[in-house]
Chain A
């Protein structure tokens, strides 16, 4: 079975631009979460979606948005990019059951903002 797949793997943008990152969860997983990992730090929670509804939001500005599609894939959008948005963006999927789910992470999308 395929794991969590993310695209693109690497991308370079300039300040003020917009970016869309995509994630396909493991088959059967209904929940997708997004994390931002700045170099040298642990991942920071951005969003969680379950059955196409937002179930959690981290401490990120409104420039960050996301959605989940009927096939459970997800997109993370970031508007008006800043230099500080340069990071590895990780997507994780889980079954979405009760309790703290075990998250399976993708390899990430590395965003560089110039």
Chain B
């Protein structure tokens, strides 16, 4: 069975600080995908990134960066120079590779509430 653990329930930082959100996953599949989603107070989940299990290169997108390490089954997310608008709940999720028409079953972690204060 697949499992995603986000051990940090809530993190509070002051604006401009860097913050890392941890994600540890479990799966028996050799091919799988990892995601991060952001959920602002409005409730709508916003897609941030998708990585497949064969691509371990770290990725940077503006102030966001992701560190994927298969050896430790982790897919951590770092926000550099955090801003108040980054305040939200962040979810890490895991999916098996699906055939056409499938592959939409995401297993989510419990989320990390990030609060960025002035």
Contacts and interface: CB of A to CB of B under 8 A. Distances in A.
A8 B109 CA distance: 27
Interface stretch (B57-65, B67-75, B97-105): B97-105
Interface residues of A, number: 35
Interface residues of B, number: 32
Contacts of B102: 48, 50, 55-56
A24 interface: no
A42 B111 contact: yes
Interface of A: 30-31, 33, 35, 40-45, 48, 50-51, 53, 55-56, 58, 88, 90, 92, 94, 96-108, 110
Interface of B: 4, 32-33, 35, 37, 42-47, 50, 52, 91, 93, 95-111
- Chain A to chain B: the 10 pairs with minimum beta-carbon distance, closest first: A42-B108, A50-B101, A100-B33, A100-B95, A105-B45, A48-B104, A107-B44, A100-B103, A33-B104, A98-B100
